[in-house]
Structure 1
Amino acid sequence: MARKLPVILTAAEQQLLLDQFTIRYPTQERNRMMIKLMLDTGLRRAEAINLRWKDINLMSGKLKVVQGKGAKDRILWIQEETLEELKNWKERQAEELKKRDIQDYELVFTTLKGTKINPNNFYKMVCKYSDKADINKQVTPHTLRHTFATDLYRDTKNIRLVQKALGHEDLSTTMIYTHIVDDELEEAMKGFRKK
C-alpha cells in the first residue's frame, strides 16, 4: 500500500518557527516550549498536553511518557539546552499561576488559569505561527513529530531507535522515515557535480 510521505521541517524552518514567539509573554513562552519539546522528543500532541512535572527528571533529562497511544509507557531523554529552557519555564509557570492564586497544578503546560490546554487551540496555534514564519508547508503538531523522527533517523541511521522513541508497535509504521532520507539522497545525487 502506497503511503504519502509526511511533511517535515528543515533545520532552518524549525528555527524560523521557534523565532516567531515573543517569550516575554507567558503564553508565548509556553507555546514555544511545547513546540521545542515536541521537535526534540517526538511527543504526540496529546502526550505534550498531558505531560506532568512528576514524569520529568529535571536533573537527568529523563522524560516518562505515561499511557501514550495504545496505553504504552516509554522513556525519552531531553537534551541539555531544552532542559534548561524547561527549568526556566517551570519557574515562570509557577510565578504566573501564583499571581492567580493557583498553587495546585501538575501539568507542564497549562493555561494561565491552570487548566489543561485545549488540543484544537494548540493545533491552531501551530498553524498560525508557521504561517507567521512564512513556512510554505501545511504544518501541524504532527509535523513536529515527523520532523523529530526524520532528524533522529538522519543522525543515527538506526530505524529501531526511531521506532522506540516514537513508541511504534510495528516497525513498518516507522519505515516511512527511511523513504524521506532516501528521497534526500536521490535529490542530492541528481544534483551532484552540476555546479
Structure 2
Amino acid sequence: MALHRRGGVYHYHFWVDGKRYRGSTKKRNEAAARRVESLLLAQAQEKGEVLLRRRSPVLRDFKTRFFEWIQGNTKLQQKTKDYYTNGWRLLEGTEVAAMRISAITRDDADRLTFPGGPGNHNNALRTLRRMLGKAEEWNVIKAAPKIKLMQEQARQRIIDAHIEAKLLPFCKQPLRDVVMIMRDSGMRNQKEVFRMRWEHLDWANDRYFVYESKSPKGRRFVPISPRVRQALLARHEGQKEGWVFPSKRAKCGHLTTVNKQFEKARESVGLPKDLVLYCARHGFGTEMYRATKNLFAVMNVMGHTAVSTTMKYQHQDIDEVTAVASLRVQ
C-alpha cells in the first residue's frame, strides 16, 4: 500500500490479485487517509471491487438508470417490467424517493404505507428491494438492506347482487354511482372509475374506453349497463365535459376516495370490516365468468394478462358441483 499527497489531498495506490486500485481518499489528514485506505483495501479483498467514497444518488435519480436496465433486459417478461413500473408509481410519492439510496434502511421501508391492500404494498416494496439490490450489484452502495414484505392473503369476500341490494339504500352520491359502475363494468375504483372522462364514453355502443390503467393491458373497453348509462346521463346533464367525477377539493381535479362514505354505509348495514369497495370488482369477475363461461373474455374486460390473475377474482361456490354430484346415486 502507498499514500502520496497531491494538492494537499492524500491519494491511495495498492494492488489486489493483480489488479491496481488508485484514487483520492478526499482527506488532508494522513491518519484519516490511512483509515480510508485500509477500508478500501478490505473492500477490494472481500468483493474484488472498491466502492468510491462519493455520495450515492437520490432514489428518484437512480430510477433512470434502473429503468434503462429494465427496458434493455430482454430476459425480463413484459409483465415483470410493468410490475416494476407500477411499483415505482407507488414509490415516487413517498419520502424514500427523495432519500440517498445509501441512507435507506429496512426501518424506512417498514414505515412506508400505500393505498390498497398487501398486494399493492408488496408491489412497491419488491420494486424498492430490486432497485437497492441492483445498486449493490453495481457497487453504488456497499450493501442493500433486507426488506420484509407484508403477508398477502387472498380476498375472501365479494360484493354480489345480494350484498349490493343491502348496501345501495345507504350509499350516497358519488358512492352509489361508483358501486354500480364497478359492479357492472369491473373497473378498478382509484385508477379507473375515479379518472373517468366524458370524451372516452361511446354512447352509441354502450361502452367506455379505459384510457389510463395499472398496465398497458388495462387500456380496454368495458360495458356500460342500462342502469349505469342512466346514472351517467344524469351526471352528463350538469357537466358535459371533463371528469365524470370532478372534485374541487382534490388537486388532480377528480374524485380520489369514497372510503368514508363506504365505511359508513357498510356499518349501517352491519357488514364485516373486511368487505371493501374493491370487492365489487371481485364480484364482477366471479359473476361474469359464472354467466359466460368465457375465461378469456373476462380476462380481457378486466385488463388481465395472465389466467392466474383472473383466477384470484373467482369466488365460485360449490352449488353447481353439488348439483352434478347429487345425480350420482350409485
* Band the TM-score falls in, shorter-chain normalisation: 0.7 to 0.9
Within a 5 Å distance, the mapping from 1:88-99 to structure 2 comes to: 88-91=234-237, 93-94=238-239
Q: Does 1:18 align with 2:176?
A: no
Conservation of the 8 A alpha-carbon contact between 1:53 and 1:107: yes
Conservation of the 8 A alpha-carbon contact between 1:34 and 1:109: no
Give deviations 1:103-123, integer Å, cap 9, x for gaps: 9x611112366831123xx23
Paired with 2:154 and 2:164, the residues of 1 have a C-alpha distance of 21
Specify which of 77, 82, 101 is matched with residue 223 of structure 2: 77
Instruction: Report what 1:52 is aligned to.
Output: 197
Within a 5 Å distance, the mapping from 1:71-150 to structure 2 comes to: 71-72=216-217, 73-91=219-237, 93-94=238-239, 106-111=242-247, 115-119=253-257, 122-136=258-272, 138-150=274-286
Query: What secondary structure sits across from 1:75 in the alignment?
Result: strand
The letter for the 1-side match of 2:307 is L
Query: What secondary structure sits across from 2:278 in the alignment?
Result: helix
Deviation at 1:133, TM superposition (A): 2.1
Conservation of the 8 A alpha-carbon contact between 1:41 and 1:77: yes
Could you tell me the TM-score, scaled by structure 1's length?
Answer: 0.75
Structure 2, unaligned runs of 5 or more: 1-151
Paired with 1:157 and 1:3, the residues of 2 have a C-alpha distance of 26
Deviation at 1:81, TM superposition (A): 2.2
The structure with higher relative contact order (CA 8 Å, sep 6+) is: 1
Q: Does 1:32 align with 2:186?
A: no
Deviation at 1:50, TM superposition (A): 0.8
Paired with 2:254 and 2:306, the residues of 1 have a C-alpha distance of 31
Specify which of 140, 155, 159 is matched with residue 9 of structure 1: 159
Paired with 1:75 and 1:7, the residues of 2 have a C-alpha distance of 26
Change (3 A) 1:79 1:4: same
Structure 1 or 2: more strand by fraction:
2
Deviation at 1:182, TM superposition (A): 4.9
Deviation at 1:66, TM superposition (A): 0.8
Instruction: Report what 1:164 is aligned to.
Output: 300
Paired with 1:10 and 1:86, the residues of 2 have a C-alpha distance of 21
The letter for the 1-side match of 2:299 is Q
Conservation of the 8 A alpha-carbon contact between 1:126 and 1:141: yes
Deviation at 1:176, TM superposition (A): 2.9
Paired with 2:204 and 2:184, the residues of 1 have a C-alpha distance of 17
Deviation at 1:137, TM superposition (A): 5.3
Give deviations 1:149-170, integer Å, cap 9, x for gaps: 1111111122111111110111
Could you tell me the TM-score, scaled by structure 2's length?
Answer: 0.47
Structure 1 or 2: more helix by fraction:
1
Paired with 1:168 and 1:150, the residues of 2 have a C-alpha distance of 14
Instruction: Report what 2:316 is aligned to.
Output: 181
Conservation of the 8 A alpha-carbon contact between 2:160 and 2:280: no
Q: Does 1:43 align with 2:43?
A: no
Query: How many matched pairs?
Result: 172
Query: What secondary structure sits across from 1:118 in the alignment?
Result: coil
